[in-house]
Structures are given as C-alpha cells and as structure tokens.
Structure 1
Amino acid sequence: MIADLFAESRTLTLDPGAMLLGGFALGVAPALLEGVAAIAAAAPFRQMATPGGRRMSVAMTNCGAAGWVTDAAGYRYATADPLSGRPWPAMPPAFRDLARRAATAAGFAGFDPDACLVNLYRPGARMAPHQDIDERDMGEPIVSVSLGLSATFLWGGAARGDPKRRLRIDHGDVLVWGGPARRTFHGIAPLAAGTQPDTGETRINLTFRRAL
C-alpha cells in the first residue's frame, strides 16, 4: 500500500513530523558524491562492531565536528576518527546546504547539522530497525539522503516490535523526520544486487544530525 502512495506522489508524509522528499537531492548528487570520495580518502570506510561484538554489514565513515562510532565501549559520538586519531573531515558546504534546505522543506527551519554519518551499502547489507537517540538535542530532526542503488526503507513506530511499512527509496530521495516522529524505529532491508550509473553496485546514505 505504501508503494502505491509513493507512485502517486514524490512527496509523501509518512507520519506527523516525517516526510519523504522524492528526488530532492538529484540536482546536487554529483557534488555530494565528490564529497563522499574526498571524505573516504581522508577517513576510509570501515565495518564497525557493535558493543556485542557483531560486525556491521554496512561500511561507515563520518564528516563534520563529530562522528558516530560503535565498538565494545558502546554507541557514541567522537570528535576524532578512532582509526587515525585525527578530526573527522570537515563537512562539505554542499552537504550542509542540502541538509538545511531539506529540513526547511519538511518543516524544520533552522537545522544546522554538525555530524554526517556516511554509510556504504553493498548487496546484502542491511540496517536493523533502530532509533537515533545518541544525539544530545532530540529536538533536532534527522535528514537522510539516498544515493545510488534503490533500497527498501523500513518505517515503524515508537516500539521496536511495531509493524514496519516498506518504502522504496531511490537515488536523490531525502527523508526527514523529527518532532513527534523523532524516535521512530527505522531501518533498511537487505540491499538487492544491481547497478546504478553514479555509484555502480553500491548505495550511499548520508545521515545528517545535530549531535553535540
């Protein structure tokens, strides 16, 4: 049913405070991908381990004043890359500008992200349903940008076991959620194999947050 709604409109309200902005990032996608390449050259993608020792299927890196990390010590934000000890790469202006514009379009004017988690998905990689709750100010929204292969986004509720809606997200789509939807459980189903002209056999996700 959610797929039928998506076919009718490229802008979709998922819940109060949550919106899909279909194709919102298409015009700046080349600049975003250039930024990802520069970030990965300075802070390479890596598959982090959860506090329980499970290696994540998604490879990650970060840019901005803070980066999200996970290891035996837990989930947290760190101002330095634990692999190098150096600060994370600066957030490219094109990243920050897009995040601000998308947040404003979804009703969250004034958003100023200080962290961007960059996720690299290869076929079979997934993100289990979770909440984004490691940020200090939960009043700020999340802005999530999809680049490359299409994926199935899972949108749940306030509890982990709530039913999940399945939503196809394509290259250039942006999801924004905050306010009453800020703690919604969400995830990505295992990525199907395919090829996309700009990213090949991969999907890249940029998740902007106000972390500090």
Structure 2
Amino acid sequence: MLDLGAPEAPQRQQIGPDAWLLKGFALKDADALLAAIEHVAAQAPFRHQITPGGYQMSAAMSSCGAYGWVTDRHGYRYSALDPQSNQPWPTMPALFGELAERAARSAGFAHFAPEACLINRYTTGARMGLHQDKDEQDLNAPIVSISLGAPITFLFGGAHRIDPTSRWLLEHGDVVVWGGESRLYFHGVSPLGKKASHPQTGAVRYNLTFRKVR
C-alpha cells in the first residue's frame, strides 16, 4: 500500500487503482506555471488540431519538450517538430519537469522523466471526450496532469470505453497522476461550464499533461 504520509495525506484522493488526485499540489507554483505557458505559446501558438476523422478539437493545444503530440488526417502521433513552424518544440521549462517528477513520486511512481508536455487551453464549452493515452511507446511511466484556471469536471473510467466513469472536480493547482493498472484507463473532461472562471485566467482553463514518450 502506498504510504501517503503526513501532512499532505488529507489532500490526496484515490480515484482508481494506481491513480490519485493531489488537491492543490501545484498551487504554490501556479503563477510561475502560467507565466511559463505564455512563454511557450509565444513560440508555439495554441491551435485547434484536426482529428483523423476531420473534426476540429474544441480545446486549443500547444506542446513543449522533446516531442509534441499532433493529430491530423494522417492520425495521432508524436513529432519532434512543430508542424506549423517545422522547428523543434519549445524547450520544456525546468519547473514543468521538476513539478511533474515530484507529483509522480508523491503518487508512488519514482524516477519519472517526462519527454513531452501537452498544453491544452479550454474556453467555455470546450471538452475532451473519453480516450486512452496510448500513443506512447513507454506505458510503464505514469501520466501527470496539472490543472490551472477555471474549474472543470474530470471523468475517470476503466479499461473499456463502456465502463462507468467517476467524476472529480479539478480546481486551480490540482494534479492527477495515474499509471500502473490504470495507465490505459479511459478519461476525459466535461465541457467547461458557462459560469466557470478563475481570477487569474477568467473563463479559461489550462491543462499540462506530462508523458514519457519513448
């Protein structure tokens, strides 16, 4: 059993096998994270990518690190180059990697070294349907997801799309970590509500998702 320890234990909620919601884990770094997002987006602007089926994603996306995640008519994949500029993605800010590694370790996953950070920007009505993170070659590493800005409802299901989902409110500074048995569990977020807002971002929610790719 994972030794949650004190005093952080009351802020942790187990949402599934090998899956944890760490309430407020990134809160003290939130201002620096938001500033870093702006820096990344200045180099790799947010864009609404197109799925292989021809649908435009409602959340705008950017990336940083050794790889970025892209989708188009040719499929889902990781690329070392930003297809808009044909240049490498921006370097992952040191704080990003350090915080992701610390969150993973806190959830029981040691030595996490993310190679990609996907940055999603949600505005009113934007959502992410149930899906698996399965484009990575290394499925032994966990997924670390940091929420900033307006609150949103996170859906966490099971190994099959039809499995029941639990609902968890993600607020500014919350972090979700899942791996092990839950690594390929379906997950997503409900549409960002019309009244959802945060003093620093307004009606916008940012999500940083860290992954070990290779």
Q: TM range, normalised to the smaller chain?
A: over 0.9
Q: Among 188, 195, 198, which residue is 1:196 paired with?
A: 198
1:23-38 alignment to 2 at 5 Å?
A: 23-38=24-39
Shift of 1:10: 2.8
Work out the CA distance in 1 between the residues paired with 2:12 and 2:171.
13
Corresponding residue for 2:20?
A: 19
Work out the CA distance in 2 between the residues paired with 1:197 and 1:97.
26
Corresponding residue for 2:123?
A: 122
Q: Which runs of 4+ in 1 moved over 2 A?
A: none
Corresponding residue for 1:83?
A: 84
Work out the CA distance in 2 between the residues paired with 1:205 and 1:142.
12
Aligned length, in residue pairs: 204
Give the alignment's Cα RMSD to 1 decimal.
0.7
Any idea what SS the aligned residue of 1:27 has?
A: helix
Any idea what SS the aligned residue of 2:50 has?
A: coil
Corresponding residue for 2:207?
A: 205
Matched AA of 2:41: A
1:148-207 deviation per Cα after TM superposition (whole angstroms, max 9, x unaligned): 000000010000011111111100000000000100000000001232111111000000
Work out the CA distance in 2 between the residues paired with 1:106 and 1:10.
12
The TM-score with structure 1 as length reference comes to: 0.95
Work out the CA distance in 1 between the residues paired with 2:100 and 2:190.
24
Identity of aligned residues (%): 55
Is 1:61 aligned with 2:54?
no
The TM-score with structure 2 as length reference comes to: 0.94
Corresponding residue for 1:165?
A: 166
Work out the CA distance in 1 between the residues paired with 2:200 and 2:180.
33
